[in-house]
Amino acid sequence: MNSYILITPAKNEEDYIEKTIKSVINQTIIPKKWIIVSDGSTDKTDEIIERYLLKYKFIELLKKKGEHVRNFGAKARSISLAYQEVRKLDFEYVGNLDADVSFDPDYYDNILKEFNANPKLGIAGGLRYDLINNKFYKLECAPDSVGGPFQLFRRECYEEIGGYKPLRFGGIDAVAETSARMMGWEVKHFPEYKVFHHRQTGSAHNNIIKQKFRAGLRNYSIGYHPLFQLLKLKRNVFLRPYFFGSLFLLSGYIWGAIKRYEMPISKEFKEYLRSEQLHKIRTGLKIKGN
């Protein structure tokens, strides 16, 4: 049995969600259930989804009162709400799917085959390509990591880690996959399966600066080792905005430490994450991402 369910949190995604819907309904293996959670959308997101509900019975629209801003805590809560709706169903895999991505018709068929080939595989997915200045670029990703917009979990793994945690500064995908590895599951992305992220990124300088600062706060809050964070600065020097990206990434991390922001993680998680990071440093593995 290769049954899977999908959960998509969506807030004002009228410009992108139809690409995602078309990608899913054209899959060679369609999901058993796909719950799209509209988090108080005020544009035409709900209207677009509703056009597909009658024809595709596996799609369900769940509307909830929206939170004031788009944030990762809201995303985690939307996913948790939807999972309560489907947990009584019989399925093997559960996927988080953002409402601004697209992929080939055999995407999930291929990922499910990877799960079937490896019973210890807990989280899997393809490789992300981001839209930057109207062109798609491959997003470098560590071998034991899967892009947050399209993580597919073995159900046993998802329930063992307790799903996604609503984190103030983000990092819900990183915490999920680190928790999975900590519990003995393998996490792996497969670069031959492409996922295209259509939301334009990198087009506003001020927005990038804000993102880098917030990324530093996120990394501090989920327990990054200071040395690992410093090594990430070297990579960011060569990414736009040159030098300033690294400066604000470091500033966010230091600000979190100065303000002593709460780390919503266990001591065991922090120790495990830092031991992983130190191992990557010792073995010379590439330090990728923010």
What are the extents of the domains in the chain?
4-201, 205-282
Task: Using the predicted structure, report yes or no on whether residue 205 has a pLDDT greater than 50.
Answer: no
pLDDT category, 202, cuts 50, 70, 90?
very low
pLDDT on residue 203: 45
pLDDT on residue 237: 52
Give how far the C-alpha of residue 93 lies from the chain's centroid of Cα atoms, to the nearest Å: 16
- Rounded Cα distance between 73 and 76, Å, is 5
pLDDT on residue 5: 98
Task: Using the predicted structure, report yes or no on whether residue 207 has a pLDDT greater than 80.
Answer: no
Number of CB atoms found within 10 A of residue 208's CB:
18
Average pLDDT, the chain: 90
What secondary structure, in 3-state letters, does the chain show? CCCEEEEEEECCCCCCHHHHHHHHHCCCCCCCEEEEEEECCCCCHHHHHHHHHCCCCCEEEEEECCCCCCCHHHHHHHHHHHHHHHCCCCCCEEEECCCCEEECCCHHHHHHHHHHHCCCEEEEEEEEEEEECCEEEECCCCCCCCCHHHCEEEHHHHHHHCCCCCCCCCCHHHHHHHHHHHCCCEEEEEEEEEEEEEEEECCCHHHHHHHHHHHHHHHHHCCCCHHHHHHHHHHHCCCCCCCHHHHHHHHHHHHHHHHCCCCCCCHHHHHHHHHHHHHHHHCCCCCCCC
Length of the chain: 290
pLDDT digits (tens, 9 = 90+) for 39-97: 889 999 999 999 999 999 999 999 988 665 555 688 999 999 999 999 999 999 999 99
- Rounded Cα distance between 169 and 219, Å, is 9
Comparing CA positions, the residue from 202, 195, 139 lying closest to residue 20 is 195
Cα separation values, 125 from 29, 131, 139, 160, 218, Å: 15, 18, 13, 19, 23
pLDDT above 90 covers what percent of the chain? 71
Superfamily classification of domain 4-201? Spore Coat Polysaccharide Biosynthesis Protein SpsA; Chain A (3.90.550.10)
- Say if residues 83 and 56 touch (Cβ distance below 8 Å): no
pLDDT digits (tens, 9 = 90+) for 150-182: 999 999 999 999 999 999 888 999 999 999 999
pLDDT category, 133, cuts 50, 70, 90?
confident
pLDDT digits (tens, 9 = 90+) for 2-35: 899 999 999 999 999 999 999 999 999 999 999 9
Task: Using the predicted structure, report yes or no on whether residue 287 has a pLDDT greater than 90.
Answer: no
pLDDT category, 105, cuts 50, 70, 90?
very high
